[in-house]
Amino acid sequence: MSLDLLIRGGTIVDGTGGARYQGDVGVREGRIVEIGRLRSTAERVIDADGLVVAPGFVDGHTHMDAQIAWDPIGSCSCWHGVTTVIMGNCGFALAPCRPEEREWFARCLTAVEDIPTEAMLTGIDWTWETFPEYLATVDGLPKAINYGAYIGHSALRMYVMGKRALSETATEDDLARMAAAVREAIRAGAMGFSSSRSTTHVTPDDTPVPSRIADWSEVDRLVGVMGELGAGIFQVGPDISGGAAQRAFLARLKRVALESGRPVMFGTISSRQGVDPNPWTYQLEYLDECAAAGARVWGQTGTRSINAIFSLKSYLPFDVLPAWRELRRLPLAEQRRRLADPATRRALIAEEAHMKPRDNVFQGGGAATTDPRRPDYDNLYAMKDVDWNDPTVAQLAAAQGKHPVEVMIDLALANDNQVFVQPIVNEDPDHLLGMLRHPRTLATFSDSGAHVCQEMGSSLQTHMLSYWVRAKGAFTLEEAVRKLAFDNAAAWGLADRGLLRTGYRADLVLFDAARVKPAMPTVESDLPGGARRLVQKAEGIAATIVNGEVTLESGQPTGRLPGVLLRGPGAATA
């Protein structure tokens, strides 16, 4: 047989969880056509000696909706072996949207997901209005990874109800129009319908986003449309205002799942909700109870804590203080010069005493990054590598006999890219391991494309491989690949991705199992309009292949853009 691509002599970890073996993978016309000891000739041969050859990873919880317009390679997910993402999570989407509401939409995404408004207004050629028109745009955009998308509840509500969406219950007429739009979206190929009831999701005016105004009967009605069509996933950001609130939320969500018959996903599973403890174990038991009752519910989780991230180049916890505010407006070189000046430094350190103490109100990454209250230095880590074993600022201050602020200034002066990490939830690795081990969870909560300067979850796949597989031995490589590729592909109904199997799409990642890991995050000003974001690449990934074409080689984009729009199974029923 004559192949387009032959990957020779790799260690095949095929995504089923089955044991690895040595072999070759043959690719033709975007699909895997042969696996084994191959004698075929090929246009291109990649020597995979010493490398693992695995199915490309699937990330189901991203917010790449805006970024896809200006970033064809699909960073930062693409750096971590991801070949397919699902976007439009938590009810936030760029469609449907009327032209006169575009700017408001952009500001909402800035408020909730920290995607800079200027990047969206300069970086997006916003030609669509309806969801099918948005999908057609995504279909036509150059892209190096595959994308699926949900229709988002907050976008839909604004589209149908205008500003009433921010305060009013939907009328029968509103409901009928929203239901029609969900039907139209699923038939066009939406992966499902997404929503949020999370208290961290607010508009630029600090009011609840539209999906939080909806009552549950509206959710029943809209998810019910997917039930009628027999297609589509319901994804929802959970109520995290407190333990009792989350229990009520989960109980009601179970009813949605049972009545609609559709698969339901919520996430992230987390170790705290508001000020009340609501153990993560309860959320796992809930998943089993749902299954026993006949509902199909998944909990989404990351592979490490969700963190607010600080650095000299982005946010520091002291930015609200007057002397700091003045300093932080200056060019970086001038900030460094002043931070090194003893008198200025003393004044800056002294000012910290005026910050208000913290309470324990639950915050999302955005609020945490810009919180005007004094940091908890016992929960603020000076990141030294990616091994999840960093010292706290309090520990460093005690060891060095310095004020915590001085420790942070010294580290930032020594290294522009010094990052400080404040865990928000799931900071205990044992909790996270319990979540990851549960059979009804999905390792997928990256939030990639969102919180661009405040959080960095895009490395969840390489963290899984370096931390949980290599450092901790908590999962075998086979188990981890299955979780990152096949389990997610199966949950989203991607019938020909997530496994190395003949006939499947040739989405592959080739990596060195002894070296693969996330690189350190850095702050770059590479968004449209020059806005900042956190960038995190990876080490040890030799090549990424999407639909049979090599998109990244040793971390360098090849310029090939073979990614496609994935239409959900509802498109076939149209």
Q: Which residues bind Zn ion (CB under 5 A)?
A: 89-90
Smallest gap from Cβ 457 to Zn ion, in A, equals 10
User: Structure tokens of 55?
Assistant: 């199915």
Q: Which is nearer to Zn ion, 90 or 124 (CB)?
A: 90
How distant is the alpha carbon of residue 337 from its chain centre?
36
> Using CA atoms, how far apart are residues 63 and 76, in angstroms rounded to an integer?
12
Q: Which is nearer to Zn ion, 60 or 562 (CB)?
A: 60
The rounded radius of gyration (Å) of the Cα atoms in the chain is 23
Closest CA to 45 of 567, 562, 550: 550
> Using CA atoms, how far apart are residues 477 and 468, in angstroms rounded to an integer?
9
Smallest gap from Cβ 342 to Zn ion, in A, equals 44
Smallest gap from Cβ 92 to Zn ion, in A, equals 7
Q: Terminus-to-terminus CA distance in the chain, angstroms?
A: 37
43 exposed, middle or buried (CB, 10 Å; 0-12, 13-18, 19+)?
Answer: exposed
3-state secondary structure of 456: coil
Query: Helix 332-340 crosses helix 342-351 at what angle (to 10 degrees)?
Result: 90
Q: Which is nearer to Zn ion, 335 or 446 (CB)?
A: 446
Q: Which is nearer to Zn ion, 90 or 138 (CB)?
A: 90
User: Structure tokens of 276?
Assistant: 């009340």
Q: Which is nearer to Zn ion, 154 or 551 (CB)?
A: 154
Q: Which is nearer to Zn ion, 446 or 551 (CB)?
A: 446
3-state secondary structure of 23: strand
Query: Helix 216-229 crosses helix 243-260 at what angle (to 10 degrees)?
Result: 30
Smallest gap from Cβ 326 to Zn ion, in A, equals 35
Lay out the sheet containing 264-267: strands in order across: 57-59, 82-87, 146-152, 192-196, 233-237, 264-267, 297-301, 441-443
The four Cα atoms 19, 20, 25, 31 give a dihedral, to 10 degrees, of 50
Smallest gap from Cβ 111 to Zn ion, in A, equals 14
How distant is the alpha carbon of residue 232 from its chain centre?
20
Q: Which is nearer to Zn ion, 3 or 115 (CB)?
A: 115
93 exposed, middle or buried (CB, 10 Å; 0-12, 13-18, 19+)?
Answer: buried
User: Structure tokens of 16?
Assistant: 């089923």
Which residues, including other chains, have CB under 8 Å from residue 227's CB and lie 6 or more apart?
259, 260, 261, 262
Smallest gap from Cβ 362 to Zn ion, in A, equals 16
Q: Which is nearer to Zn ion, 283 or 392 (CB)?
A: 283
Q: Which is nearer to Zn ion, 89 or 547 (CB)?
A: 89
Pairing of strands 522-524, 533-535: antiparallel
Q: Which is nearer to Zn ion, 115 or 348 (CB)?
A: 115
Q: Which is nearer to Zn ion, 91 or 557 (CB)?
A: 91
Distances (CA, A) of 227 to 115, 132, 263, 279: 33, 20, 10, 31
Q: Which is nearer to Zn ion, 11 or 268 (CB)?
A: 268
Smallest gap from Cβ 113 to Zn ion, in A, equals 7
Residues facing residue 58 across a β-bridge: 84
> Using CA atoms, how far apart are residues 460 and 80, in angstroms rounded to an integer?
8
In 48-202, at which residue ranges do the beta strands (DSSP E only) sit?
52-55, 57-59, 61-62, 82-87, 146-152, 192-196
Looking at residue 75, the DSSP 8-state letter turns out to be T
Residues facing residue 443 across a β-bridge: 301
Residue of closest CB approach to Zn ion: 90
3-state secondary structure of 451: coil
Phi and psi at residue 346, to the nearest 5°: -60, -45
Smallest gap from Cβ 61 to Zn ion, in A, equals 6
Smallest gap from Cβ 74 to Zn ion, in A, equals 17
Q: Which stretch of DSSP H or E encloses residue 348?
A: helix 342-351
Q: Which is nearer to Zn ion, 238 or 274 (CB)?
A: 238
167 exposed, middle or buried (CB, 10 Å; 0-12, 13-18, 19+)?
Answer: exposed
Q: Which is nearer to Zn ion, 89 or 301 (CB)?
A: 89
Smallest gap from Cβ 435 to Zn ion, in A, equals 17
> Using CA atoms, how far apart are residues 281 and 296, in angstroms rounded to an integer?
18
User: Structure tokens of 425?
Assistant: 């939830």
